[in-house]
């Protein structure tokens, strides 16, 4: 019987479409002695984007242009708490930009002029460049300079000149959802975003914020950085998140959190109902103590 299982031949099987072909001219130093034909790993599906949650902090970011698109980019940067935005734009500026200059003066440095190549050779240089200008020649020139300086750039609405794309964003407190169609249909991205946003329970931001507080409290009582402690913390938090509904998490009080955390040492994860039972019992005990104290005085 013919054995057509590629794992049983000496010649390596052709990689599926989209998978890397080994390059015989390069030396692969990543040699592993495990079974490299294991098919249980998820398939690689190239053609996507690297979806990240960028933290600009105080790294300088260059924004070129003062119109509609620049106004939207500026809002995205400020919502991401960027504190060192260098805005290059001659007047007139979009009214929203004028407003942000007024409300966030310490985060934006505005140069009211056209772009100059020296805008890329500042010390320190920009960590990121966003252009939103109506002159394709200027866009191309800034892109060429950015590439030469190895600085990631987005040229609004010119996909071949973008190292990264913007997406349609839904923000609700700590929750951020970005829909990208990888350049295929920005308008569709916005309507998909709207549908997702409409389908979310309303109290998700509160649920996330409470989980954030609970995680901080847990880190305070179990602060060790040992592998064992980290695994225990992660398993505990995962179990809480999996066993409490969004609604219950959204309503979680600091008192509830303390009851939950009391179960951490022995790894007990109390359900919402169990936490409420413990609190009722504790309240009854307090009432009893108060009555005892009252009768003995």
Per CB under 6 A, residues contacting ligand NAI are 64-70, 88-90, 114-115, 132-135, 138, 156-157
* Residue choice 13, 15, 183, 212 for contact with ligand SHN (CB under 6 A): 183
Contact of residue 68 among ligand SHN, ligand NAI, none (CB under 5-8 Å per partner type): ligand NAI
Nearest of 238, 219, 239 to residue 229 by alpha carbon: 219
Q: Is residue 154 at the binding interface for ligand SHN, with CB under 6 A as the rule?
A: yes
Q: With the CA atoms of 149, 49, 81 and 213 taken in that order, what torsion angle do they form, in degrees rounded to the nearest 10?
A: -140
- Binding part of the chain for ligand SHN, among 3-11, 30-38, 154-162, 258-266 by CB under 6 A, reads 154-162
Q: How far is it, in rounded angstroms, from Cα 189 to Cα 167?
A: 7
CB 196 within 8 A of CB 167: no
157 is catalytic: yes
Applying CB under 6 A, among 60, 131, 142, 166 the residue interacting with ligand SHN is 166
- What CA–CA distance (Å, rounded) separates 224 from 71? 45
| Residue 129 vs 162, nearer CB to ligand SHN | 162
CA distance 160 to 136: 12
3-state secondary structure 161-190: HCCCCCCEEEEECCEEEEECCCCCCHHHHH
CB of 267 to ligand SHN, least distance (A): 43
At its nearest, how many Å lie between ligand NAI and the CB of residue 71? 7
Residues in touch with ligand SHN (CB under 6 A): 72, 154, 156-157, 159, 162, 165-168, 180-183, 185-187, 189-190
């Amino acid at each position: 019987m013919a054995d057509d299982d590629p794992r049983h031949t000496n010649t390596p099987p052709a990689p599926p479409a989209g998978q890397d072909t080994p390059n015989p001219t390069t030396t692969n130093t990543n040699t592993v002695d495990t079974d490299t034909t294991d098919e249980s790993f998820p398939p690689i599906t190239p053609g996507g984007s690297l979806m990240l949650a960028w933290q600009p902090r105080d790294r300088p970011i260059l924004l070129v242009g003062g119109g509609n698109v620049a106004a939207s980019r500026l809002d995205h940067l400020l919502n991401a708490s960027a504190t060192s935005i260098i805005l290059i734009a001659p007047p007139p500026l979009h009214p929203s930009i004028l407003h942000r200059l007024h409300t966030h003066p310490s985060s934006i440095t505005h140069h009211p002029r056209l772009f100059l190549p020296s805008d890329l050779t500042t010390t320190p240089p920009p960590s990121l460049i966003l252009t939103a200008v109506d002159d394709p020649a200027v866009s191309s020139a800034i892109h060429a300079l950015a590439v030469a300086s190895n600085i990631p750039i987005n040229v609004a609405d010119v996909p071949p000149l973008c190292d990264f794309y913007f997406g349609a964003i839904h923000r609700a407190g700590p929750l951020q959802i970005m829909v990208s169609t990888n350049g295929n249909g920005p308008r569709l991205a916005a309507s998909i975003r709207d549908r997702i946003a409409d389908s979310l329970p309303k109290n998700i931001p509160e649920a996330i914020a409470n989980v954030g507080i609970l995680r901080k409290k847990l880190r305070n009582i179990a602060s060790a950085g040992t592998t064992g402690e980290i695994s225990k913390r992660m398993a505990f938090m995962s179990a809480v998140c999996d066993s409490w509904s969004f609604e219950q998490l959204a309503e979680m009080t600091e008192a509830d959190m303390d009851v939950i955390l009391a179960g951490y040492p022995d790894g007990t994860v109390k359900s919402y109902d169990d936490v409420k039972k413990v609190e009722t019992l504790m309240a009854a005990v307090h009432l009893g103590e108060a009555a005892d104290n009252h009768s003995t005085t």
